[in-house]
């Protein structure tokens, strides 16, 4: 009898290689921490900008002003716990920043693209890694858009954060594993090959609100590997096979604020 596949969401690949010990706690052991206000701000921005883009794809009329209602609802009525204690942003500041970025996205960024799908539901993709290890890739493209340009179909993923944009360009570092998984899931679900480079649409939530884009090439190959190097899926399979998930005491998320396993972790200082 074969073992149950290891379910890995597209959005979690980066954190697996940031601190695997933390990743195991969150994604295999079910340990949770309250969400941060800035994470909530990002979620609310995604909700409203997605609503705007869905209307564009469907050919219905929804103004940036009307779509902002989705931002307000998500920000003030979250579906999960949010810990505002010690936060560097107040609810009022979060609302002001989010509305500026929402408007900037709808007026300046979205019109640059032809989107063919938003929040695409994908079919799980099972990959047999050998040795009885099967990884099941899952994930709704909830923050991603499917774009069409002169080269073909590609992924456009919205990312928010305090450093999401620098000098007018979206930060792409760290997002390649998620994008690569999105590309695999899209191809598995639709039967269509990704042909166009992916783009990160960055919305900066700290300091002066900014928007920018950045290109990602070779994300799929990062996940599945090439003749010259193994892919992250193969490397991750070794962790599942051995049951060893290495800690990273130098991780930027190595703190009680970000890691629900921190209090029980013997590896941090």
Q: Which of 102, 96, 94 is nearest to 78 (CA)?
A: 94
Do residues 24 and 248 make contact, with C-beta atoms less than 8 angstroms apart?
no
Reported pTM: 0.91
Within 10 Å of residue 35's Cβ, how many Cβ atoms?
A: 16
Q: Tell me, what's the pLDDT at 1?
A: 43
The helix (H) or strand (E) run that includes residue 138 is strand 134-138
List the Cα angle 87/92/95 in 5-degree steps: 100
Q: Tell me, what's the pLDDT at 99?
A: 98
User: How would you classify the pairing of strands 141-149 and 115-120?
Assistant: antiparallel
Q: Tell me, what's the pLDDT at 144?
A: 80
Q: Tell me, what's the pLDDT at 119?
A: 85
Q: Tell me, what's the pLDDT at 143?
A: 67
Residues in the chain: 269
Domain locations along the chain: 1-9+114-245
Mean pLDDT by 10 residues, the chain (269 residues): 80 94 95 90 96 94 95 94 88 96 96 92 90 86 82 94 94 95 94 94 95 96 95 94 95 91 94
Q: Tell me, what's the pLDDT at 243?
A: 92
Within 10 Å of residue 164's Cβ, how many Cβ atoms?
A: 23
**Long-range pairs for 49-52: beta carbons < 8 A, 24 or more residues apart:** 49/102, 49/105, 49/106, 49/110, 49/158, 50/118, 50/119, 50/142, 50/143, 50/158, 52/105, 52/106, 52/110
* Cα separation, 29 vs 247, whole angstroms: 15
Q: Summarize the chain as % helix, strand, coil (round to 5).
A: 40, 20, 40
Q: Tell me, what's the pLDDT at 249?
A: 96
pLDDT tens track for 245-266: 999 999 999 998 889 999 999 9
List the Cα angle 17/19/25 in 5-degree steps: 115
């Amino acid at each position: 009898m074969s073992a149950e596949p290891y379910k890995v969401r597209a959005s979690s690949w980066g954190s697996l290689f940031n601190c695997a010990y933390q990743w195991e706690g969150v994604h295999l052991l079910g340990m949770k921490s309250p969400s941060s206000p800035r994470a909530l701000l990002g979620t609310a921005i995604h909700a409203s900008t997605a609503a705007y883009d869905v209307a564009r794809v469907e050919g219905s009329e929804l103004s940036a002003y009307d779509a902002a209602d989705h931002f307000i609802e998500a920000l003030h009525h979250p579906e999960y716990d949010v810990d505002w204690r010690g936060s560097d942003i107040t609810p009022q500041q979060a609302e002001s920043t989010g509305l500026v970025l929402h408007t900037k996205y709808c007026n300046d960024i979205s019109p640059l693209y032809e989107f063919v799908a938003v929040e695409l539901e994908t079919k799980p993709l099972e990959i047999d890694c050998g040795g009885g290890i099967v990884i099941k890739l899952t994930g709704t493209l909830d923050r991603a858009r499917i774009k069409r340009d002169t080269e073909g179909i590609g992924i456009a993923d919205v990312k928010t954060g305090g450093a999401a944009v620098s000098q007018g360009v979206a930060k792409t570092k760290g997002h390649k594993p998620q994008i690569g998984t999105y590309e695999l899931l899209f191809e598995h679900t639709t039967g269509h090959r990704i042909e166009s480079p992916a783009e990160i649409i960055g919305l900066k939530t700290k300091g002066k609100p900014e928007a920018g884009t950045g290109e990602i090439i070779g994300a799929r190959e990062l996940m599945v590997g090439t003749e010259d190097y193994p892919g992250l899926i193969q490397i991750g399979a070794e962790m599942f096979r051995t049951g060893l998930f290495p800690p990273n005491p130098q991780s930027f998320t190595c703190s009680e604020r970000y890691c629900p396993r921190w209090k029980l972790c013997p590896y941090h200082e």
